Amino acid sequence: MAGTELPLAGVRVIEMTHMVMGPTCGMILAQLGAEVIKVEPPAGDKTRSLGGMGVSFFPLFNRGKRSVVLDFAKPDDRDTMHALLASADVFVENFRDGQLDKQGLGPDELRKRYPQLIICGHKGFLSGPYEHRPALDEVVQMMSGLAAMTGTRDRPQRVGSSANDIMGGMFGAISILAALYQKRGGAKDGADIRIGLFENCLFLVAQHMVEYEMTGRKPRSMPEREHAWPIYDIFDTAGEERIFIGVVTEGHWQAFCKEFSLQEFLDDPALRTTTDRILARSRIIPRVAEEIKRWNVAELSERLDLLNICFSPINRPEDLLTDPHVLRPGGLVHNVNADGKPFRVPALPVEWNGGNIGEGLKVPVLGADTSAVRAELKKTSTNNAA
């Protein structure tokens, strides 16, 4: 999609972030058309040099941005930063409370100097007893109970991606959009937004907290949970692969049993209702597993698809690079890393007027836009003076 077609064209965002949560916020805004200027120290964002599981962090979450290098030990660079903020609609940061105050960039100072600015700080915690603490995705998953629900209380297990960091960036983007809408409605002042990684994770486990509130029963973790349907399980197949199958309606039950030679279940008066079948899972599931074992994943997928029954092979991330739906036009977009090498990445998970967002984004080389941005600021200052 052309930049002029995107909804945030003309919005300027100044971003001082690192790791995942703050950069995710800026990345989403950039894909929606905003000009996002990432301000980095002379050594660059530390995630530029991460290896291992962090090798994708910088390219993935910083696509589509401009990179400006500023050294706040230099008066001219501090002046440049303030000129950027004076020209901006939004300032995104994710430093610990107090760190930016040392640079004269704390929220209180910014509100005084730039009352029109929308300030969005991504923090470990919202205001309260823990607000001074740093946090990591894994930390808040342990604190919130998400790890205990994903694994068990004895063996807690974090979710297999930076889910909370990414979701925190999404809440930042949502809040910024709300503030921009408020300004469009006539509000003269900006907004002071704080996003909490812990509270974000708390939002994810709210369903279990409310379950306890309503029933007084401690929620069971995912591996130990009570099933709400008779068939909602992972099965081995003939090809030594596995498949998840969820039979969740009466129509699905009837169709599944007929398709897979399980007429004995339909003829059994003790299995007339869903509740009957849930209570009989101990004898239903072994029999279903026996039948499913006769088929390979491809055959099962075709049959289940025709029956409109929910199913999925047990994929790994690398498998998705050959998945036909992921490979549909626009499903994967082609971007370019800072070293010039192309890479593919899932498009932003929305369609805008029938099109996908994110094709052709580039990861900025460290400081690549510093000179150009300085020149733009100087030109603007000259024009304003005239």
Q: What is the pLDDT of residues 105-137, one digit of tens each?
A: 999 999 999 999 999 999 999 999 999 999 999
Q: How far is C-alpha 116 from the chain's CA centre?
A: 28
CATH fold for domain 227-316: formyl-coa transferase, domain 3 (3.30.1540)
Q: What is the pLDDT of residues 156-178, one digit of tens each?
A: 999 999 999 999 999 999 999 99
For position 386, what pLDDT does the model report?
A: 59
Which pTM was predicted? 0.91
**Any idea where the domains of the chain sit in the sequence?**
3-206+329-385, 227-316
Q: Cite the beta strand spans of the chain per DSSP E.
A: 12-16, 35-40, 66-69, 90-93, 118-123, 191-196, 231-236, 242-247, 310-313, 332-336, 342-346, 351-352, 355-356
For position 385, what pLDDT does the model report?
A: 66
For position 2, what pLDDT does the model report?
A: 42
CATH fold for domain 3-206+329-385: Rossmann fold (3.40.50)
Range 142-168 average pLDDT:
92
For position 3, what pLDDT does the model report?
A: 43
Contacts of 36 (CB under 8 A, 6+ apart): 13, 15, 26, 27, 29, 30, 64, 65, 66
